[in-house]
Amino acid sequence: MSYNLLSESIRKYIRDKRWESLRPIQAAAISKILSTDNNYILASRTASGKTEAAFLPILSKTNFNTRGVQVLYISPLIALINDQFFRIEDLCKDLEISVTKWHGEAKKSLKTNLIKNPNGVVLITPESLEAMFVNAPYNVSELFGNLKYIVIDEIHSFLGVDRGLQLMSILSRIQQVNNTKIIIIGLSATIGDDNYIEAKRLTGDIDITKILLDRAKKETKAKFKYFNSNGAELSLELLKDLYKETATNKVLIFPNSRGRTEEIAVKLRKISDLVKGHKLYFSHHSSVDKEIRESVERFAKNNKRFNFCIACTSTLELGIDIGTVDKIVQIDSTHSVSSLVQRIGRSGRREGEISIVNLYATDKWSLLQSLACWNLYKSEFLEPIYTAKKPFDILLHQLLSILKQLSGCSRTELFKRIRLNPTFKEITEVEINSLIDKFIELDYLEKIDRELIVGIEGEYIVNSREFYSVFKTEPNFKVVHSGKKIGNIPFSPQIRIDENILLAAKIWKIKDIDFKGSKIIVIPTNDGKKPLFFGGVGNIHKRIREEMLRIVKSNIEYSELDDSSCAVVAEMRNDFKEFRINNLQFDCPIIEKEGTLLIYTFTGSKINRSLSFLLSLTGLVPSLDDHSSSFELAINKSGFNQLIQELKSKYENINEYLLIELKENESLIGFSKWGKYLPLDYQIEIVKERFYDFENTIELINNINLVET
């Protein structure tokens, strides 16, 4: 029995908490972690006790009398660190094990005390670790020289993104200053079967990393509703219905943009005021000031009595504990099945509870996509994750960081450290040496005798406050009322004096804009003037689009749909009923009229983007609507075969065309924070690997079958 394997002090903790039994993932993790030195990925649904599954055996097995930090907990969010701190501290307090938060907002005195007496458990973000390597490398050795365990929370959030590559490199660098093998434990509620290899790869050692999977799922009840919204704002009918669905519950509402989030919070509060309902309507997203966000989180977590409604973005998608939520609402489709899984997991967290989700759609394509995501959720599909094999931009970042850490070193030593780092395993020796030579030429690095140091241009990069992160942050303006910060919003030309904006669930009028200080002065308003919206879009995986096509070509009835949703699906099925589709991947419905061809590709956003680029090289001006996954081309069907040949020809020289595009349009590499510092030939490789998907695009071009009615 796993319980008996734990130390007596941990068993006492469990008895004091009056747990009736261990959760399945906890029982499995305890027996494995205590009996082996393998790395483990603990994969189970939200609120299944993964944190305790990792820490109960770690705290039982580890000798905390050894000098140095023994356990490092890495989180993607400072807010999650603050939240988990109390949970982990509660586990450790009777064991007299200190728990320390280390991030930009943590108390300096606590960090100083830890440096003087390195011990216990430290909670940190990848960016704070990077800053430590750059600014205080001695602290890294002192703190983590005897580290035994690293726990990575929400490990799925690091997979397939630059931040995960940075973390992978940092894990390797920590191991290089450590005296013994560090064991890594990853926690996740959202890893599909196809993505376990990526989670294993992040640990740096695939062979000794094992998966512990609890497949238990909560029952989920879904209800789809359709309200067409032709304009920029949501229809009044939708808002009234949304109010009825949420007024007597504790609810999280997930729109797909910060602007929509604010619109919902403000307008539901207005409706509630009119009908004398509760006033507990909040907004929660990255533009809302941190103190306001944290006050909302505290209220939701500690409130047992009152109903509330929080309109939020992905800031509440990860595992921040906000207590019991009765219902989740999704406004228009999520961009991924993974995101839908995370959001559904926020409700029904207590044992025996059902997860309840209401899915609203404001146009037919969003409804179809939402239904496709729901079907794939039920079939347990999750988007496969692709991790860049040759991250030249992250290599530049880490080269500078390593040289700063070491205060310079020989080229041989630098090369050795890169070769030992699994993050850059696929980058060849020739490529590494070529880049080092180029970076010396560009003065990012400087050669003095037999040593390499950070060059003058490199110092400008490393000394920037932005150096510690590898993800891009958009230029924001601080929004201020009466000297108090309300939040930040991305600046755009539409933001002007006398315009209204929505922020922190209130309407504000812009009174002044301080461009030099990046500040917007506002006052509360209720003058009826329509406010500005701000937000973004996401990439849709091709499997979702294939499922959308399957739905419109099937006769399956869905009990989850309301009458309006059923009518819209029936209308779309009627639109596509004459198209004979046999292959969901390559059969593309087309409509030819007046010298134009409308092609529905029903494929992923990256493939559509790649196809659009290739089409533009032929002289056509493709009109891409990724929302409906369709292209409108000024061509007739008879000329399409010749167009296919042109596309293949253009692809053969794709590097030349990308070189021209990068020279003319620097924003093409804009998704990569450090990509712009690379030589153009390496920028091309990054763009091909991470922004486009030419491989699957050429497969589509080679096999495409235009289907007419």
SS3 content of the chain, % helix, strand, coil (to 5): 45, 20, 35
- The 10s digit of each residue's pLDDT in 674-701 is 999 999 999 999 999 999 999 999 999 9
- The 10s digit of each residue's pLDDT in 516-565 is 778 889 888 877 666 655 544 578 999 999 999 999 999 999 999 999 99
Q: Is 590 helix (H, G, I), strand (E, B) or coil?
A: strand
Contacts of 96 (CB under 8 A, 6+ apart): none
Q: Whole-angstrom Cα distance, residue 640 to residue 653?
A: 21
For the chain, the residue count is 709
Q: Is 377 helix (H, G, I), strand (E, B) or coil?
A: helix
Phi, psi (5° rounding) for residue 68? 110, 155
Q: How many CA atoms lie within 13 A of 510 on its CB side?
A: 22
Strands (E), 327-370: 327-331, 355-361
Q: Whole-angstrom Cα distance, residue 586 to residue 546?
A: 10
Q: Whole-angstrom Cα distance, residue 613 to residue 635?
A: 17
Beta pairing, strands 587-593 & 596-600: antiparallel
Write down the mean pLDDT value for the chain.
91
Beta bridge mates, 452: 409, 447
pLDDT of residue 535: 47
Domains of the chain: 2-213 (3.40.50.300), 217-384+479-577 (3.40.50.300), 392-468 (1.10.10), 578-707 (no CATH)
- The 10s digit of each residue's pLDDT in 16-41 is 989 989 999 999 999 999 999 999 99
pLDDT of residue 350: 66
pLDDT of residue 88: 93
DSSP symbol at 639: G
Structure tokens at 412: 């041989």
The string of DSSP codes covering 603-629 is: --HHHHHHHHHHHHHTT---EEETTTT
Structure tokens at 297: 């989180």
Contacts of 135 (CB under 8 A, 6+ apart): none
Q: Whole-angstrom Cα distance, residue 103 to residue 132?
A: 10
Average pLDDT over residues 312-329: 80
Backbone angle region of 699, left / alpha / beta, with phi > 0 → left and psi within -120 to 50 → alpha: alpha
Structure tokens at 259: 């602007």
Structure tokens at 622: 């493709």
**What global pTM score does this model have?**
0.88
Sheet containing 500-503, strands listed edge to edge, beginning at the edge strand earlier in sequence: 484-490, 476-481, 519-524, 506-514, 500-503
CB atoms within 10 A of CB 378: 12
